Amino acid sequence: MLRDITLGQFFPGNSPLHRMDPRVKILWTLFFIVLLFFINNFWGFLIYGLFMAFVIGISDIRPRMIFAGLRPILYLLIFTALLNIFLTGGENVIFKLWFLKPTWEGLYSAGIMAFRLIFLVLGSSMLTFTTSPIVLTDGIEHLMMPFSKIGLPAHEIAMMMSIAIRFIPTILEETDKIMKAQTARGADFESGNILRRAKAMVPLLIPLFISAFRRADELAMAMECRCYHGGKGRTRLHVLHLSQVDYYSVPVFMLLLLGVILTRVFL
Amino acid sequence: MILAEHLSYTYTPGGVFEKNAVRDVNFTIEDGTFCGIIGHTGSGKTTLVQMLAGLVRPTEGKVLINGLDVHDKKIRLNELKGKVGLVFQYPEYQLFGETVLEDVMFGPLNLGLSEADARKKAKAALRDTGVDASLFDSSPFELSGGQKRRIAIAGVLALSPEILILDEPTAGLDPMGRDEILSCISELHKREKITVLLISHSMEDMAKYAQQILVMDGGKLCMHDTVENVFSHGEKLREMGLDVPDITRVILSLREKGVNISPDIYTLSAAKEAILRIWREKKCSEI
């Protein structure tokens, strides 16, 4: 039941996208997201759509998996679209019902908003789909390095992130197990009103918290036993370096930029 | 009676990580049987017992307990509620109560018993697992690993299940704690005539307590027979990464040396008697 979450999952593979340097991939993802907010008409989204199709095409990941990642934001999408349709002021009212006055302008901005959200999720999930969490945090650490000059603990933040990511499946498994164990003792997590359900969570949450603290303790101890002392003077097993794919990605993204600029200027 | 029909379970069917945990398992276990389940790590034992307890829905097949389908939600929440008790691996990680007694009372209270009745059941279950009354009001988190384990097992026993399933209840305990826990379960089995299913990696425990053994290998049920018959297939067990009890190995090598001793000896006491008998016969013939 808890295993159906695809957002933020990693699918191992050997596509050009998988081979790309994580630093480059993170920067391009940021670029992709920022550029997304400069689009102001549907031609821009058409270009984004074509680009996305290209990226998905070379990624070796089944499109079904990618679109499954959109399911969790479905309600958010509908909600923002409705807000936009009904609350955007404008001249061209579609129909009037009591105080509701949906406008064509609202419909237009709802469409823009929905596409933005969809591409936002698709773009960022392409990053996590093709980059293993360890490599991803490695990349983040590198990108944060310049800020360590002004006192940002880049290595520590990256280490905390990779540990947190590492423990997601473990904690999910633990939750599943404790839930089953308490169900076997007659606990009921599924029926009753909100208050009853919240109360039913106590036998689940207490063991979960205790085991999280126990694991943290044990991990800290194990790290100290192996002489971990933070990032200073630490060398790496896998040194990141740029490859051909990373150079090839530059013209591709420049084309995307050019396309978006053209749609803004001419259409 | 537990009846398993064509039980199969597949993890993430259709996905990249598809894995058949349990494949087409069929068996019947009569009421009041003490049945052991052995198998190599990853052979599907845990998934199997979770299906028997109705916690995991099989991909195919069904489990009938006294003719009732375990996976029918209505039946599970009514007729079968509390009938099947499952003690998980490392059950002490599921403790949550403020006091020992409160934690053990959780089960009976869920069954709809009154506070007083639940307290009575909890106290009886704690006594059965050998927890001292002086500990009833202390926090379960302050106690030792072995004591926590007993309390967690008592938490399941307090439901008074007709079928008790234990998934490696003695993993990580010292030999004394292991014997104490298993003998209290064996005693309960004899006194209350409940059905017990015990997963264990210890062939000695199997020989000592079980009447029947289910042998799992690669998700399939390989053997379901009496202890004697299962342990007479030593070669086959070893192929699956299992073994016969240590004492049986001793007896078998004695036989190889030409000693005329029965091969169906699985417990220390039986071995002692057989060897002493041969010793006496030998002495008599010398005189």
Q: What is the pLDDT of residue A1?
A: 41
Q: What is the pLDDT of residue A2?
A: 47
Q: What is the pLDDT of residue B116?
A: 95
Share above pLDDT 90 across residues of chain B, in percent, rounded to a whole number: 53
Token representation of residue B156: 């399941």
Mean local confidence (pLDDT), B156-180: 91
Mean pLDDT, chain A, integer: 86
Return d(Cα B124, Cα B100) in angstroms, integer: 13
Judged against a pLDDT cut of 90, whether residue B187 lies above it is answered with yes
Measured between beta carbons, the chain A residues lying within 8 angstroms of B55 are 180, 183-184
Q: What is the pLDDT of residue B17?
A: 64
Q: Which of B53, B94, B106 is facing A178, going by the closest CB pair?
A: B94
Instruction: Work out the pLDDT band at B246, boundaries 50, 70, 90.
Output: confident
Q: What is the pLDDT of residue A5?
A: 52
Judged against a pLDDT cut of 60, whether residue B197 lies above it is answered with yes
- What sign results for the dihedral spanned by CA atoms A252, A256, A257, A258? positive
Most confident of A9-23, A97-111, B102-116: B102-116
Q: What is the pLDDT of residue B37?
A: 95
Please answer yes or no on whether A180 and B155 come within 8 Å at the CB atom: no
Asked if A207 and A187 touch (Cβ cutoff 8 Å), the reply is no
Higher pLDDT, A168 or A117: A117
Assembly ipTM: 0.84
The three-state secondary structure class of B5 is strand
Measured between beta carbons, the chain B residues lying within 8 angstroms of A180 are 50, 55-56, 88
Share above pLDDT 70 across residues of chain B, in percent, rounded to a whole number: 98
Query: How many CB atoms within 10 Å of residue A182?
Result: 24
Mean local confidence (pLDDT), A195-217: 91
Query: Does A175 contact B at CB distance below 8 Å?
Result: no
In A, minimum Cα distance to B52 occurs at A184
Q: Which of B56, B96, B111 is facing A203, going by the closest CB pair?
A: B96
Query: Does A178 contact B at CB distance below 8 Å?
Result: yes
pLDDT tens across B232-242, in order? 888 888 888 88
CATH number for the region B2-233 comes to 3.40.50.300
Give the lowest-confidence range in A30-39, A237-246, A247-256, B50-59.
A237-246
Judged against a pLDDT cut of 50, whether residue A73 lies above it is answered with yes
- Count of A-B CB contacts under 8 Å: 53
Mean local confidence (pLDDT), A9-20: 86
Q: Comparing C-alpha atoms, which of B137, B143, B166, B154 is closest to residue B53?
A: B166
Judged against a pLDDT cut of 90, whether residue A223 lies above it is answered with yes
Interface of B with A (CB under 8 A): 12, 16, 50, 53, 55-56, 77, 81-82, 84-86, 88, 91, 93-96, 106-107, 110-111, 141, 155-156, 159
Please answer yes or no on whether A184 and B86 come within 8 Å at the CB atom: yes
Please answer yes or no on whether A184 and B95 come within 8 Å at the CB atom: no
**What are the residue boundaries of the structural domains of chain A, listed by start?**
1-131+240-267, 154-236
Token representation of residue B223: 């053997």
Measured between beta carbons, the chain B residues lying within 8 angstroms of A177 are 88
Mean local confidence (pLDDT), B97-108: 94
Measured between beta carbons, the chain A residues lying within 8 angstroms of B111 are 186
Q: What is the pLDDT of residue A85?
A: 83
Q: What is the pLDDT of residue A8?
A: 60
Choose from B48, B81, B93 for mutation: most chain A CBs within 10 A.
B93
Judged against a pLDDT cut of 70, whether residue B196 lies above it is answered with yes
Mean local confidence (pLDDT), B74-101: 88
Mean local confidence (pLDDT), A46-51: 92
Choose from B96, B99, B109 for mutation: most chain A CBs within 10 A.
B96
**What are the residue boundaries of the structural domains of chain B, listed by start?**
2-233, 245-287
CB contacts under 8 A, A 6-25 vs B, are 11
Q: Comparing C-alpha atoms, which of A242, A23, A17, A33 is closest to residue A154?
A: A23
Please answer yes or no on whether B53 and A187 come within 8 Å at the CB atom: no
Q: Which of B50, B82, B95 is facing A180, going by the closest CB pair?
A: B50
Q: What is the pLDDT of residue B14?
A: 63
Please answer yes or no on whether A187 and B156 come within 8 Å at the CB atom: no
Q: What is the pLDDT of residue B233?
A: 86
Q: How far does the CA of residue B224 sit from the closest CA of chain A (Å)? A: 26
Query: How many CB atoms within 10 Å of residue B233?
Result: 17
Mean local confidence (pLDDT), B181-191: 92
Judged against a pLDDT cut of 90, whether residue A199 lies above it is answered with no
Read off φ and ψ for residue A102, nearest 5 degrees. Answer: -65, 140
SS3 content of chain B, % helix, strand, coil (to 5): 45, 20, 35
Query: Does A196 contact B at CB distance below 8 Å?
Result: no
Q: Which of A180, A185, A211 is facing B93, going by the closest CB pair?
A: A211
Instruction: Work out the pLDDT band at A45, boundaries 50, 70, 90.
Output: very high
Q: What is the pLDDT of residue B15?
A: 61
Residues 6 or more apart whose CB falls under 8 angstroms from that of B266 comprise B207, B227, B228, B231, B244, B245, B247, B248
Mean pLDDT, chain B, integer: 89
Return d(Cα A210, Cα B95) in angstroms, integer: 10
Measured between beta carbons, the chain B residues lying within 8 angstroms of A210 are 93, 141
Higher pLDDT, A128 or A238: A128
pLDDT tens across A97-146, in order? 777 777 888 888 888 889 999 999 999 889 988 988 888 888 988 898 88
SS3 content of chain A, % helix, strand, coil (to 5): 70, 0, 25
Asked if A245 and A20 touch (Cβ cutoff 8 Å), the reply is yes
DSSP states of B202-232: -HHHHHHH-SEEEEEETTEEEEEEEHHHHHT
Asked if A8 and A125 touch (Cβ cutoff 8 Å), the reply is yes
Cβ neighbourhood burial of A92 (10 Å; 0-12, 13-18, 19+): exposed
Higher pLDDT, B55 or A68: B55
